[in-house]
Amino acid sequence: MPVLFCIVAANAKDQQEILTVASAVAKPNPRGRKVLSQGDAGFPSQEVKQAIAGSNVSNPGAVVLRNDCSVFDVLSVEDAKNGAIVEDDFSRAATGGL
């Protein structure tokens, strides 16, 4: 199972910007990285809700789940728009890093 990058931003403009960045970062590794938006088939709603509830991020933009569906990170909207941060989270989540 790939690392999941689940877009949760409330604002549609933010959602689109995050989708653009995350999709570009995930594209070189389609088997190991998957970007999902709310409403997509396979979007792990329960895990995402629990991750957001357990985080201290006031404006969540994305939830990153390891390949076993455990929570790796909850990114703010601004962090989720940053390609370097998205790349780092994808890489560290895949290798079990913190």
Q: Which residue range forms the structural domain that includes residue 32?
A: 3-95
Q: Which pLDDT score is estimated for 1?
A: 84
At 10-29, the pLDDT tens digits run: 999 999 999 999 999 999 99
Enter the DSSP assignment of 68: T
Domains held by the chain: number? 1
Coil vs helix vs strand at 72: strand
Task: Say which CATH number the domain at 60 has.
Answer: 3.40.30
Q: With bands split at pLDDT 50, 70 and 90, how would you rate the model's confidence at 64?
A: very high
**Which among 54, 46, 38, 50 has a CA at the least distance from the CA of 5?**
38
Distance CA 7, CA 67 (A): 16
